Amino acid sequence: MGAYDLLKPALFRLPPETAHGLIHRLLGRVQGTPIADALAERYAVDDDRLAVDAFGSAFPNPVGVAAGFDKNAHVPRALASLGFSHVEVGGVTAERQPGNPRPRLFRLREDEALVNRMGFNNEGADRVGERLDRDPLPEVPVGINIGKSKSTPLEDAPDDYLYTYERVADAGDYFVVNVSSPNTPGLRELQNREALEGILGTLADAGADPLLVKLSPDLPEPAVDDALGVVDDARVDGVIATNTTTSRPDSLRSHNRAERGGLSGKPIESLATERVRYVAERTDVPVIGVGGISDAAGAYEKIRAGASLVQLYTGLVYEGPGLARDINEGLVELLERDGFDSVEDAVGADL
Ligand SMILES: Cc1cc2nc3c(=O)[nH]c(=O)nc-3n(C[C@H](O)[C@H](O)[C@H](O)COP(=O)(O)O)c2cc1C
């Protein structure tokens, strides 16, 4: 039994956002202290077979923290000390935003899932950009997830994304155009070809490199094809598949399935993996696979379906801080079992 097995029941008695805030404060306390070094000692898996080169950066292993966990870039170094190979901070928007009224984050315990309708609560690009420029960054790559301010009309989206990009440009190892969160009205409409061309073209012209786009699992296949057409044309370096879904699989048991918002965690795992496969089959740029990963087998499945890197959020809530280590150790075993020399060898093995 690990320490998290003892802590989890107490944490789960708190409202989810309160628990998240508590964990954040804890991570903030240990960040930059000898305790963080001790955590890294415990959780980092040092094995060359896990290393991935992508987007011009060296990732020590494939497992990163998905956007939304550290929206304001307060604790990227603490998260890295848990053995993650990269941390995607944000979503950051040009304007500081309170997000939707609480409660806006719900546990679906029986389903190992969450529903959130946070609505891009964040301190805004000025503050987050200053923090990223001022504070030491982790030794692992940092991605910056950029969203659209709620009050900005859809037709002005390119300038809104640009404003944020310019404020975080120095700190990011990669930049993500997030047009797939279900909790900003109209946002997902920006996944159409014309809108994407406008946003991605504007950021590429401004020097955003590497530039990635994060897609919704709810996008119908023809619309994914359209989006991938833009990826090929518009100097886009990668695709993240996927964000949360507004769909509700029949298998869900928790009463919180009725809450409005984006579903994440176990119940979206296969949906997200199929999206990774669909995207990887149709583009040459690297894919980051995210959605429902909570163990090595799940991470490996996304890698074999074409993901060069994987990320998770909800799994961390249910499995605790040892998850990156458990996945990385498990991945090494799976690679050995299947005769792969490295993670990079296994990428797309099932395509
Ligand atoms: C509370 C919460 C907030 C999130 N915020 C963002 C966000 O700001 N930007 C984004 O691109 N994705 C956001 N996500 C989506 C995650 O990055 C991820 O794509 C999704 O949760 C699926 O992965 P998971 O099943 O491992 O959680 C958020 C997810 C949760 C649960």
- Predicted confidence at residue 191, as pLDDT, reads 85
For the cut 80, the answer to whether the pLDDT of residue 1 exceeds it is: no
- Predicted confidence at residue 171, as pLDDT, reads 98
For the cut 80, the answer to whether the pLDDT of residue 58 exceeds it is: yes
Say how many C-beta atoms besides its own lie within 10 A of residue 42's C-beta: 13
Nearest Cα residue to atom 24 of ligand 1: 291
Average pLDDT over residues 72-100: 98
| pLDDT tens, residue by residue, 45-57 | 999 999 999 999 9
Q: How far is the CA of 244 from the centre of ligand 1 (A)?
A: 6
Q: How far is the CA of 290 from the centre of ligand 1 (A)?
A: 9
For the cut 90, the answer to whether the pLDDT of residue 28 exceeds it is: yes
Average pLDDT over residues 172-191: 93
Q: How many helices (H) and strands (E) does the chain have?
A: 13, 13
Q: Is 66 in the pocket of ligand 1 (CB under 6 A)?
A: yes
Say how many C-beta atoms besides its own lie within 10 A of residue 150's C-beta: 18
- Predicted confidence at residue 329, as pLDDT, reads 98
Q: Any idea which residue has 């950021």 for tokens?
A: 203
Q: Is 170 exposed, middle or buried (0-12, 13-18, 19+ CB in 10 A)?
A: exposed
Q: CA–CA separation, 35 vs 30, rounded Å?
A: 6
- By C-alpha distance, which of 194, 116, 186, 191 is closest to 149? 186
Tell me the pairing of strands 113-116 and 142-146. Answer: unpaired
Domain span including residue 291: 3-345
Average pLDDT over residues 23-41: 97
Q: CA–CA separation, 45 vs 3, rounded Å?
A: 19
- By C-alpha distance, which of 193, 191, 121, 206 is closest to 159? 206
Two tokens at 123? Answer: 């301190």
Cα angle for residues 291, 293, 296 (degrees, 5° grid):
150
The amino acid sitting at 86 is H
Residue 71 alpha carbon, nearest atom of ligand 1: 8
Q: CA–CA separation, 158 vs 141, rounded Å?
A: 25
Is residue 351 in a domain?
no
Two tokens at 67? Answer: 């956007």
- Predicted confidence at residue 40, as pLDDT, reads 97
Nearest Cα residue to atom 6 of ligand 1: 68
- Predicted confidence at residue 168, as pLDDT, reads 98
Two tokens at 242? Answer: 């996927």
Nearest Cα residue to atom 2 of ligand 1: 68
- Predicted confidence at residue 51, as pLDDT, reads 98
Q: How far is the CA of 337 from the centre of ligand 1 (A)?
A: 32
Q: Which residues are documented as binding site for substrate?
A: 71, 116-120, 178, 183, 243-244
Rg (CA), the chain: 19
Average pLDDT over residues 112-136: 98
Q: How many domains does the chain have?
A: 1
Residue 178 alpha carbon, nearest atom of ligand 1: 11
Q: How far is the CA of 313 from the centre of ligand 1 (A)?
A: 6
Kindly state the percentage of the chain with pLDDT values over 70: 100
- Predicted confidence at residue 3, as pLDDT, reads 85
Q: Which residues are documented as binding site for FMN?
A: 67-71, 91, 145, 178, 214, 242, 265, 292, 313-314
pLDDT band for 70, please (50, 70, 90 cuts). very high
To the nearest whole number, what is the mean pLDDT of the chain?
Answer: 97
Q: How far is the CA of 188 from the centre of ligand 1 (A)?
A: 14
Tell me the pairing of strands 113-116 and 105-108. Answer: antiparallel
Is 149 within 8 Å of 112 (Cβ atoms)?
no
Q: Is 290 in the pocket of ligand 1 (CB under 6 A)?
A: yes
Q: Is 105 in the pocket of ligand 1 (CB under 6 A)?
A: yes
Is residue 58 in a domain?
yes
Return the exposure string of 113-137: e unless at least 16 CB atoms fall within 10 Å of the residue's CB, then b: bbbbbbbbbbbbbeebbebbeeeeb
DSSP, collapsed to helix, strand or coil, labels residue 224 as helix
Return the CATH number at 258.
3.20.20.70
Q: CA–CA separation, 251 vs 248, rounded Å?
A: 8
Is residue 303 in a domain?
yes
Residue 272 alpha carbon, nearest atom of ligand 1: 22
| pLDDT tens, residue by residue, 321-342 | 999 999 999 999 999 999 999 9
- Predicted confidence at residue 2, as pLDDT, reads 81
Choose the residue to mutate in 102, 243, 268, 301 for probing ligand 1, maximizing ligand atoms within 8 Å of C-beta: 243
Q: CA–CA separation, 311 vs 324, rounded Å?
A: 10
Is residue 350 in a domain?
no
Catalytic residues: 181
**CA–CA distances in Å: residue 246 to residues 147, 168, 182, 188, 243:** 18, 29, 7, 11, 10
For the cut 90, the answer to whether the pLDDT of residue 114 exceeds it is: yes
Residue 315 alpha carbon, nearest atom of ligand 1: 26
pLDDT band for 235, please (50, 70, 90 cuts). confident
Q: Which helix (H) or strand (E) holds 142?
A: strand 142-146
Is residue 225 in a domain?
yes
| pLDDT tens, residue by residue, 290-304 | 999 999 999 999 999
Query: Is the torsion defined by CA of 172, 175, 181, 184 positive or negative?
Result: positive
